[in-house]
Chain A
């Protein structure tokens, strides 16, 4: 048996590289990318739990949806659980029946740049999860009758989301910030599209994107690498790389153009009014793509603005009684996205005061930079988070999934070194490029029916009922 870190010589898979204990292989026939992260037990410290995560990530998300098809990626993800000819409810072999029976925790998620299907289960049953994912990669039925019942399920999911003012505000801010790029529509889709999309439309979507060459299969936990590669080849190996586009043309995803967002040249504002108790302010600046050279520095900036009670937003807002919660986030996406600061208003506090405080927190970084102490704390937090993220196979899968989606899985294993290389100067420079008021969208959630706040006015250029 080879040492854990020696690449495997496998007839069906070509070894590509190994970074941070994760090995990448590519199927020689159909291009399926495979990432393996085997747990290595240490007899002196007991055995790892005999569990593993199997995950398939497709490089398709709401980013790939056009007008009339918003929400298609997510609705298709739901229909993927409705079954194939082999695994379906009528036979008592639906995905849930088979995998939950053996204690698997299974689900799927859809996001801007990717869709993933995963199962966390006892290692002895890993083969079942692989078999099911391979079967539904090309065998999903996507039938009219399944869509009919699942459409109302997704509409209820959409209603649940709309109950939450913060989510509604986020949708409004993204829609205002992105006029042209598909990041402007919610991942779950606009209601009328969810109501009208056809099974044929979803089938076309499925036939375009659900192929081995557009997917990455990840296996994390306690397993034998050689046996897993054998299994992956046995189940996925016979599937063609992608759709036959005719005349040797490349599959659609290879050359697909996604609308580029035109430069923003002025501040935009949006207000959401909805029944509720306490307001929210959200400031979102246009920010670079997830693989941009500034992206690591922006992650550090998120950390020192909002991680814990030493962070600037806590000190400036929550500790002073302006907010009940304040945070920053910067989702690293494949295309340019947003850098967001937001705060939930404390009772009796006006939106203007909180907006001013958030904007001053941003301006302060550009003006004065960040301290060595803050930088050291942020780095230390990232180092600890990186260790925590390797605690259990599911946590690893979740982080790895986002790195795959942004376009480079090595972002996950190399994250610690990348963050340790960020300087205070790099944080300030990145902040100065992002915090430009002409590239800012401000969103207010203004509750109606709550208690009045003296002197507050609530105005925006657009409003959503």
Chain B
């Protein structure tokens, strides 16, 4: 295939700047309960970090909602300072620190100037270990969470995504979404006592991992973590959840909404795959060729050639080492083009699965994925996030270095065989949310 004119690029890249080799540059350390990955980079003054710990939630008993509220309450004061003093300590340094629920874990992400790393870590540890969990703040946070559910009810994408997941997963699967009214009622039924009990029982140094990148001194950061989180006791609990999907028979669900003339549509079916399965990478690369970027088949055919949509794509979603996920195709369609757009989308998916990826197409996507991997490592936040996710999966840092070559090594046959094993257009569910045309 003619790939057109190419430029000779010699001289654009300074030869005295070799490509990053993470395994050689990342310092791995232990600081008591915490395992650390520390990567000095040439950025000036900035340090970013990402951390997480395992909280062992029970998905059958609304622990995920408790965890959500608890994460939101961590910046509403500690036993030593009120919420405004916490905010002042951070914002007076221009630092950023956020806590978030992340399925089987609670995560945190921060960014600050080099000089403030130890202070920001100390504050993070105080928030994690000694949150105030004040009753009045709980009531406010509960109201905000309920408002968040009501705002999501107005979102066509949240409605379509939720409806699709309810067709594929049992309620105690980490990827399940409750109906909005059920979620709202469950949130309103929670009490501050439940949140306090959850904190006492489920927060601790179990599976505590933190990745740092930026203008940092590994030894100094390790000591700062040891001093603040090193003696955080583990909890010894195990998570309870359904690891596999339990799909209903394939079918379509419409979620009618007023005044939403763009409709969000989701096709999907469950995948019996884990992130560490050999089939994961060929399926991921194959699905990328179907709908991973603008030059993938769905965008090229349904948007660029037929002009039916602004946004369309395909992805492997929610697959973890601990549980399965699903194959998903998303498309947004104006009412007048709804059925035509759905038919065009399904046709592309069916043809792709039947015919498989072409050799030239695969080669192009392999380069795309390998190149995107390098580009994704260009910021401290991106580096810290990649390092943490990699560590959570139990993969060595060397996996991040090997990843582009693993992608490039996939053959057309390997990708197509894996696609045929895991993708089945006849099993696709469809969820459509918005103002349905008359």
Residue numbers of A with Cβ under 8 A of B are 39-42, 45-51, 86-87, 89, 91-94, 96-98, 100-105, 120-128, 130-131, 148-157, 159-160, 162-163, 165, 221-224, 227-228, 230-231, 274-278, 307-310, 315, 318-319, 321, 324, 344, 346-347, 376-377, 380-385, 387-388, 390-395, 447-450
Contacts and interface: CB of A to CB of B under 8 A. Distances in A.
Interface in B146-186: 146-148, 150-151, 153-154, 156
Contacts of B258: 275, 448-449
B262 A163 contact: yes
Given A149-B304, A165-B154, A47 B380 contact: no
Contacts of B303: 153
Interface residues of B, number: 98
Interface string B305-324: 11111110000000000000
A362 B371 CA distance: 48
Interface in B377-425: 377-382
Contacts of A101: 3, 295, 364, 367-368, 371
A100 B299 CA distance: 13
Interface in B190-235: 214-215
B294 to A, nearest CB: 4
B154 A150 contact: no
30 contacts: A41-B42, A42-B42, A89-B304, A92-B4, A97-B364, A98-B3, A101-B364, A101-B371, A122-B374, A122-B375, A149-B304, A149-B305, A156-B308, A156-B311, A156-B333, A163-B261, A227-B12, A307-B91, A308-B91, A310-B91, A321-B140, A324-B151, A344-B147, A377-B91, A381-B91, A384-B95, A384-B112, A391-B214, A392-B378, A449-B258
A224 to B, nearest CB: 5
Contacts of B146: 347
B147 A347 contact: yes
B17 interface: yes
B1 interface: yes
B310 A157 contact: yes
Given A224-B14, A319-B140, 11 more contacts: A50-B19, A92-B4, A94-B295, A103-B367, A103-B375, A160-B262, A163-B156, A275-B154, A310-B92, A391-B46, A394-B379
B287 to A, nearest CB: 16
Contact of A123 (B12, B304, B307, B381): B12
B410 to A, nearest CB: 16
A159 to B, nearest CB: 4
A150 B308 CA distance: 9
B140 to A, nearest CB: 6
Nearest to A40: B42
Nearest to A276: B154
A156 B309 contact: yes
A207 B346 CA distance: 40
B150 A49 contact: no
Contacts of A98: 3-4
B407 to A, nearest CB: 11
A49 B373 CA distance: 11
B45 A387 contact: yes
A47 B42 contact: yes
A93 B294 CA distance: 13
Interface stretch (B63-71, B80-88, B100-108, B278-286): B80-88
B252 interface: no
Max chain B Cβ within 10 angstroms of own Cβ: one of A39, A309, A315: A309
B169 to A, nearest CB: 25
B260 interface: yes
Contacts of A104: 371, 375
A449 B256 CA distance: 13
Give the one of B16, B153, B262, B380 with max A CB within 10 A.
B262
Shortest 3 CB-CB contacts between residues of A and residues of B: A103-B371, A384-B94, A149-B307
